[in-house]
Chains A and B, each alone.
Chain A
Amino acid sequence: GAVVSQHPSWVICKSGTSVKIECRSLDFQATTMFWYRQFPKQSLMLMATSNEGSKATYEQGVEKDKFLINHASLTLSTLTVTSAHPEDSSFYICSAPLGGTTRTDTQYFGPGTRLTVL
């Protein structure tokens, strides 16, 4: 099956610093990738859609200047949490679609990145 990786798998940072999370599709290309966030005991919430060659689109309520997304190539999307604060502590997960059509493709998810802001 398709493999999506994330790096790092966990990160601890101080309040006010920036953290970059990478999402890679290892054996397929993805012009679109998705970033989700999951707080403890909650479900996944879509944050933004990463588009290769164009700007990301953000869900309502997600600050685009705080969560910078760059789709650098057909296999790499990065999420940078700028000026992180403790309330940004969460589990960040990316996904990339493969196969079928845009109606029937399958989303493959990365293993997630756990961010803790002190």
Chain B
Amino acid sequence: DAKTTQPPSMDCAEGRAANLPCNHSTISGNEYVYWYRQIHSQGPQYIIHGLKNNETNEMASLIITEDRKSSTLILPHATLRDTAVYYCIVRATGRRALTFGSGTRLQVQP
């Protein structure tokens, strides 16, 4: 699986946008980028995924650079309930299971 690099922790003020970066410089052309989050003591929750175009859903936006070597997950208006560990995962071709890295611990401050 292509390796991902994320900052270990970030803080964000409630109501502000949270921008979580991820580097995946060894990504292959047909590998997708997935984002999940894990709130304490719960199973991971799917957020969004994309290949090369920017994606948006009701939870977040995913911005992938043109060279696909990095991406940013954007939570437009963070709330306290968004406090969680966020995982950026590059899904290997032909592999359905996910390989989790250490993720970014996002703390939303009141």
Q: Do A and B bind each other?
A: yes
Interface residues of A (CB under 8 A from B): 1, 4, 6, 32, 34, 36, 43-46, 49, 91, 93, 95, 97, 102-112, 114
The residue that B97 contacts in the complex, of A34, A91, A111, with Cβ under 8 A, is: A34
Contact B32 A104 (CB under 8 A): yes
22 pairs from A and B in contact (CB 8 Å cutoff)? A34-B96, A34-B98, A36-B100, A43-B101, A43-B102, A44-B44, A44-B100, A49-B97, A95-B44, A102-B94, A103-B30, A103-B93, A104-B49, A105-B96, A106-B46, A106-B49, A107-B46, A107-B96, A108-B46, A109-B36, A109-B44, A112-B41
What is the interface of chain A mostly: helix, strand, loop, or mixed?
A: strand
B-chain residues with CB within 8 Å of residue A114 when the two chains form the complex: 41
Q: For the complex formed, measure the closest distance between the CB of A116 and the CB atoms of chain B, giving whole angstroms.
A: 13
Give the B interface residue count (CB, 8 A).
Answer: 23
Interface residues of B (CB under 8 A from A): 30, 32, 36, 38, 41-46, 49, 87, 91, 93-94, 96-103
> In the complex, how many residue pairs between chain A and chain B have their CB atoms under 8 Å apart?
60
Given contacts A93-B43, A109-B43, A111-B43, contact A43 B103 (CB under 8 A): yes
Question: Whole-angstrom distance between the alpha carbons of A112 and B103 in the complex?
Answer: 18
Q: For the complex formed, measure the closest distance between the CB of A11 and the CB atoms of chain B, giving whole angstroms.
A: 15
A-chain residues with CB within 8 Å of residue B102 when the two chains form the complex: 43
Q: For the complex formed, measure the closest distance between the CB of A89 and the CB atoms of chain B, giving whole angstroms.
A: 14
A-chain residues with CB within 8 Å of residue B91 when the two chains form the complex: 103
A-chain residues with CB within 8 Å of residue B32 when the two chains form the complex: 103-104
Q: A44-B44, A45-B100, A107-B46 are in contact. List 6 more A-B contacts (CB 8 A).
A: A32-B96, A46-B97, A46-B98, A93-B44, A107-B98, A114-B41
